[in-house]
Amino acid sequence: MAIEMMEYANNSDNILEVYNLKKYYPISKFVLGKSRSYVKAVDDVSFSIKRGTTMGLVGESGCGKTTVGRTILRLHEVTDGKVFFEGRDLSKIPPARLRKMRPQMQMIFQDPYSSLSPRMPIGEIIGEAVKEHKIVPKSEYRAYILKVMRDCGLQPHFYYRYPHEFSGGQRQRISIARAVALKPKFIICDEPLSALDVSIQAQIINLMKDLQEQYGYTYLFISHDLSVVEYLSDTIGVMYLGSMMEMGDKKKIFANPMHPYTKALLSAVPVSNPDVKMNRIILEGDIPSPVNPPSGCKFRTRCPNAMPICAEKAPVFKEYEENHKVACHLYSQD
Amino acid sequence: MGLLDMLKRRKVEGTEDLDNTMYLTLREERRISRENRKIMKQYEREKNRKNVPEEEYLTQMRDPSNVVEFDNLHTYFFTDLGTVKSVNGVTFDIPQGKIVGVVGESGCGKSVTSLSLMQLVQAPQGQIVEGSIRYQDINGKCYEITKMPRDKMLEIRGKEISMIFQEPMTSLNPVFKIGEQMDEVVLLHTKGATSESAKARSIEMLNLVGIADVEKVYNSYPHELSGGMRQRVMIAMALSCDPRLIIADEPTTALDVTIQAQILELLRDVKDKINGSIMLITHDLGVIAEMADYVVVMYAGRIIEQGTVREIFHNPKHPYTIGLMKSKPSGDTKDNRLYSIRGQVPNPINMPDYCYFCNRCDYAMNVCWKEYPDIVEFSESHSAACHLYYGEGLEEQKKRRVEVENNGN
């Protein structure tokens, strides 16, 4: 037991530490009996986030980035692994205690059209959890909600309006206000911008940055838009088929992408300049099924640099320079 | 939420802010819907005429090198809340063999423009009220799409002009196999096609779009394929009758960047192979920069700027275009704030008669609140609708610049 504790030594700079997180979904092939196969949505992912910084999590759809976010908050139960939030292991906390901790960890969802209850006015949507968790005394409740709304760029007279009266951008502001109203420390943003137009995206990005500066939030920013992730994040993790492929400082990843998948992802982003012709690495085919991932390195079926060893052995996720980890055989043979 | 609170609805502090939400009484709503019915009936009667003589819809192109010309197109939707002018005077050309990119925020009318060209606007609410769309077929015959009878349109739609829709998930029929759906297009549009020749054609097309296991895909249902594969099938289907023009309505929005790169590459290849034109509708400026030859920027149903891709990206003139370019985060962006266009698109019902953008514009002047700007031409191909570049607005700009310089000294 003592050894285990040593292994998960917590760094007080980190608000969140994730060790070997696994989330498997069983597929029942038979009516009776245990299922034989699993969808390995998240397979052995470890990372940590420093207080007050933003970590970006990128990858194609189906790579498990949303599942990571949800499993951290225990919206799905963890299959294996440890999640430490502020030094406490979230997977061991009993439900009643977890409920008390919920205000500290909030989530902003992808689709602002389906994540707001159509039957509640805005004030109530933002305030419901504030009341439940008694964030502020009853006498200050209304003033507090109006202050949160003002912080998020919502006008006070929206208080009694219903979600259907708002555009996508405004709704996303409401979702942000709902998360922020609980005075959280850590917010998971699950593709908060993908349903919005470019000009509105910029507004929401600025809002999120302002709030972070003002209140010191820590974000886990899940997105498939690399330009947004580059702009917002301090560290970046690149996921593929449930595993972390590359992780490190934003600058290091963008200046020196090491994993072939990261290289391909970066080169696939269209550039807003008609004169720049990108040397594009086009990946063949689609992401394989997570039920039977390829043996060895999961990326080898689409990798332009695949070698024989890639099929035999899974590469180790190792640090090659300071704050820059890669899982690839290209760098391990020496 | 008590009743008293509900009554206070309009009396919360700071209500004087701009608020363009409309509330209609039931009586007003009834009156509007009665009027709409009358208007819609009239348009539908016109459309439903039988045996329309060909002279009525034959016309001349302004420039014979174009495939399609939009000329002052107005498409309105008659809703119970009022008339939505989705497309409000749009004029641009699609030249033969070129890619024209249409950019704009959602709700700016870019999809409705393309649907008008296909005669697929949701009827009876949606009607082309004014203007013309001219289409030139391979023999040089010019048709006026807005006046074309429905049965004639069937021969063009899907054959000479085909469309790739935004969501490959919902635009394939889930109960038919890919092969059946593809053969149907060929059988319908090719004279003397048999089921064997149709199958051969479908398989040829699936090969063309780079699908590896063609026979297997041909015999599978849409749900068995991934998003990228389905989009490839959609493209194969659109190509199967050698169209003159492909309308790609946000073809990559639902896809990942890696798949997007594949699909864009494919579209570019395919365009050269069939020597057709593409009308590419998207809100992603990066995609436009990469693909398009000409760019049309739309805002609230109107074209605010158009030009070649270089003119638009290196020398944008309209404040909205400039704002769009600046609001996209990129590697060059320093750690300061990202530029954002404030506010949002105005309510599409009851559009003002002045510039639609002036409440969000950084350069707004008095004249902007008075009248809708004229179109200013900067070169043969580049034009923008903005007060900054002519008349009263230009004068005021000069004055402002002098003031700024004086203050600087």
Inter-chain CB proximity B262 and A283 less than 8 Å: yes
Which stretches does DSSP call E strand in A76-178? Answer: 80-85, 88-89, 105-108
B31 Cα to chain A: minimum distance (Å): 23
pLDDT score recorded for residue A239: 93
Is pLDDT at B350 greater than 80 in this prediction?
no
Count of positions (residues) in chain B: 409
Q: Which residues of B touch A199 (CB under 8 A)?
A: 105, 323-324, 327, 340-341
Name which of A146, A254, A274 is nearest B313 (Cβ-Cβ). A274
Burial annotation B45-54 (CB, 10 A radius, 16+ → b, else e): eebeeeebee
Residues above pLDDT 90, as percent of chain B: 37
B199-213: average pLDDT: 88
Which residues is A42 bridged to in the sheet? A23
Contact status, residue B331 vs residue A230, Cβ threshold 8 Å: yes
A149 contacts chain B (CB < 8 A) = no
Predicted local confidence at residue B408, as pLDDT? 65
Question: pLDDT category, B92, cuts 50, 70, 90?
Answer: very high
The pLDDT, as a whole number, for residue B134 is 93
| B229 vs A168, A209, A286: nearest CB | A286
Low pLDDT (below 70) residues in chain A: 1-10, 28-35, 333-334
Going by C-alpha positions, the residue among A58, A178, A74 that lies closest to residue A116 is A178
Q: Within an 8 Å CB–CB cutoff, is residue A275 touching chain B?
A: yes
Query: What residues of chain B, 21 to 40, have a C-beta less than 8 Å from chain A?
Result: 21
Least confident of A24-38, B80-94, B370-384: A24-38
Residue A285 confidence (pLDDT): 75
- Look at residue B319 in the predicted model and tell me its pLDDT: 92
Contact A203, A22 (CB under 8 A): no
* Cβ–Cβ gap B257/A226 under 8 Å: yes
Q: What is the pLDDT confidence band of residue B397, given thresholds at 50, 70 and 90?
A: confident
**CB hemisphere CA count around A69 (13 angstroms):** 26
Burial class (CB in 10 A: 0-12, 13-18, 19+), A22: middle
Give the pLDDT band (50/70/90) at residue B93: very high
Q: Given a cut of 90, is residue B101 above it in pLDDT?
A: yes
Average pLDDT, chain B: 85
Q: What is the pLDDT of residue A7?
A: 52
Residue B329 to residue A268, Cβ atoms within 8 A = no
Secondary structure in 3-state letters for chain B: CCHHHHHHHHCCCCCCCCCCCCCCCHHHHHHHHHHHHHHHHHHHHHHCCCCCCHHHHECCCCCCCEEEEEEEEEEEEEECCEEEEEEEEEEEEEECCCEEEEECCCCCCHHHHHHHHCCCCCCCCEEEEEEEEEEECCCCCEEEHHHCCHHHHHHHECCCEEEECCCCCCCCCCCCCHHHHHHHHHHHHCCCCCHHHHHHHHHHHHHHCCCCCHHHHHCCCHHHCCHHHHHHHHHHHHHCCCCCEEEEECCCCCCCHHHHHHHHHHHHHHHHHHCCEEEEEECCHHHHHHHCCEEEEEECCEEEEEEEHHHHHHCCCCHHHHHHHHCCCCCCCCCCCCCCCCCCCCCCECCCCCCCCCCCCCCCCHHHHCCCCCEEECCCCCEEECHHHCHHHHHHHHHHHHHHHHHHC
d(CA A205, CA A225): 13
Decide if B286 touches A, using CB distance below 8 A: yes
Task: Tell me the per-residue pLDDT of B176-200, one tens digit each, with 9 for 90 and over.
Answer: 999 999 999 999 998 888 999 999 9
- B178 part of contact set with chain A, CB < 8 Å: no
Non-local CB neighbours of A146 within 8 Å, separated by 6+ positions: A156, A159, B12, B13
Structural domain for A178, as ranges? 100-224
Distance of CA B214 to the CA centre of its chain: 32
The answer to whether residue A254 is domain-embedded is no
- In a domain? residue A163: yes
Chain A residues whose beta carbon lies within 8 Å of the beta carbon of residue B309:
274
Angle between helices B257-274 and B227-239 (to 10 degrees): 10
What does the pLDDT read at residue B15? Answer: 37
SS3 at position A136: coil
| Separation between Cα atoms, residue A73 and residue A69, nearest integer Å | 7
ipTM of the prediction: 0.80
Select from B298, B324, B294 the least CA-distant residue to B384.
Answer: B298
In angstroms, the CA B323 to CA B363 distance is 11
Q: What are phi and psi of A322, to 5 degrees?
A: -60, 130
pLDDT at position A32, please? Answer: 62
Phi-psi region of A81 (alpha: psi -120 to 50; beta: other; left: phi over 0): left
Distance CA B335, CA A101 (A): 33
- Contact between A317 and A326 under an 8 Å Cβ cutoff? The reply is yes
Confidence at residue B1, expressed as pLDDT on a 0 to 100 scale: 43
CATH code of A126's domain: 3.40.50.300
Place of tokens 């208080």: A159
Residues from chain B that touch A111, judged by Cβ atoms under 8 A, are: none
Polymer length in residues for chain A:
334
CA–CA gap between residue A318 and residue A326 (Å, rounded): 6
Q: Tens digit of pLDDT for each residue in B297-316?
A: 999 899 999 999 999 999 99
Contact (Cβ atoms closer than 8 angstroms) between residue B199 and residue B179: yes
Interface test with B, best of A273, A287, A289 (most B CBs within 10 A): A273
Strands A54-58 and A218-222: parallel
A95 — contact with chain B (CB < 8 Å)?
no
Q: What is the pLDDT of residue B3?
A: 45
Asked if residue A94 belongs to a domain, the reply is no
Q: What is the DSSP string of A223-244?
A: -S-HHHHHHH-SEEEEEETTEE
B residues 204..223 contacting A (CB < 8 A): 212
pLDDT in tens, B7-27: 444 444 433 344 455 677 888
State the Rg of chain A over Cα. 21
The pLDDT of residue B255 is above 90: no
The residues near B187 (Cβ < 8 Å, ≥ 6 apart) are B193, B195, B198
* Contacts for A245-248: CB closer than 8 Å, 24+ residues apart: A245/A299, A245/A326, A245/A327, A245/A328, A246/A324, A246/A325, A246/A326, A246/A327, A246/A328, A247/A47, A247/A317, A247/A324, A247/A325, A248/A323, A248/A324, A248/A325
**Least CB–CB distance from A270: residue in B21, B286, B325:** B286
For chain A, report the end-to-end CA distance as a whole number of angstroms.
Answer: 36
In the predicted structure, residue B250 carries a pLDDT above the cut 90: no
DSSP string, A59-83: --TTSSHHHHHHHHTTSS--SEEEE
Q: Which residues of A touch B217 (CB under 8 A)?
A: none
Q: A197 vs B329: CB contact, 8 Å cut-off?
A: no
Quick one: which of B259, B263, B258 has its CA closest to B246?
B263
**Collapsed DSSP state (helix, strand, coil) of residue A106:** strand
- Token pair recorded at residue A90: 């979230």
A contact residues 42-61, partner B, Cβ 8 Å cutoff: 60-61
Q: Give the one of A160, A170, A272 whose C-beta lies nearest to B328's C-beta.
A: A272
How many A×B Cβ pairs under 8 Å?
A: 144
Contacts (Cβ under 8 Å, ≥6 apart) of A251: none
What pLDDT is attached to residue B17?
A: 42
Alpha-carbon distance A296 to A288, whole Å?
13
**Which residues does B368 contact at the CB level (< 8 Å), separation at least 6?**
B354, B355, B358, B361, B387, B393
Taking CB atoms and an 8 Å limit, are A224 and B257 in contact across chains? yes
Looking at chain A from residue 150 to 169, which residues have their Cβ under 8 Å from any Cβ of chain B? 155-157, 159-160, 165, 167-169
* pLDDT value of position B315: 92
d(C-alpha A176, C-alpha A107), whole Å: 9
Q: Would A169 be classed as within a structural domain?
A: yes
CB contact under 8 A, B14 and A157: yes
Output phi, psi for B329, to 5 deg: -70, 145
Label the pairing between strands B245-249 and B161-164. parallel
Whether residue A167 lies inside any domain: the answer is yes
**Residue B165, pLDDT score:** 85
Domain count, chain A: 1
